[in-house]
């Protein structure tokens, strides 16, 4: 997420931007979805950890 924020801050390409957007963000969103689905974490805990 930091690479995406830095991209908007500096208005130019930041190393790691493509990796963050295409791989890391979707992967973590899926992992959080699985945790919530299997009652490993609650929705409240998810929002508090951000």
In this prediction, residue 9 carries a pLDDT of 84
> Number of helices (H) and strands (E), helices first, in the chain?
4, 0
Mind listing the pLDDT tens digit of every residue in the chain (50 residues)?
666 787 788 887 777 777 777 888 888 889 888 888 888 877 677 666 66
In this prediction, residue 1 carries a pLDDT of 61
In this prediction, residue 32 carries a pLDDT of 81
Decide if 18 contacts 12 (C-beta within 8 A). Answer: no
Number of domains within the chain: 1
Distance, in Å, from the CA atom of 26 to the CA atom of 9, rounded to the nearest integer, reads 22
- Domain of 43 in residue numbering reads as 2-48
In this prediction, residue 18 carries a pLDDT of 77
In this prediction, residue 46 carries a pLDDT of 65
């Amino acid at each position: 997420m930091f690479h995406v924020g830095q991209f908007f801050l500096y208005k130019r390409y930041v190393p790691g931007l493509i990796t963050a957007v295409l791989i890391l963000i979707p992967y973590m969103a899926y992992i959080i979805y699985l945790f919530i689905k299997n009652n490993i974490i609650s929705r409240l805990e998810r929002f508090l950890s951000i």
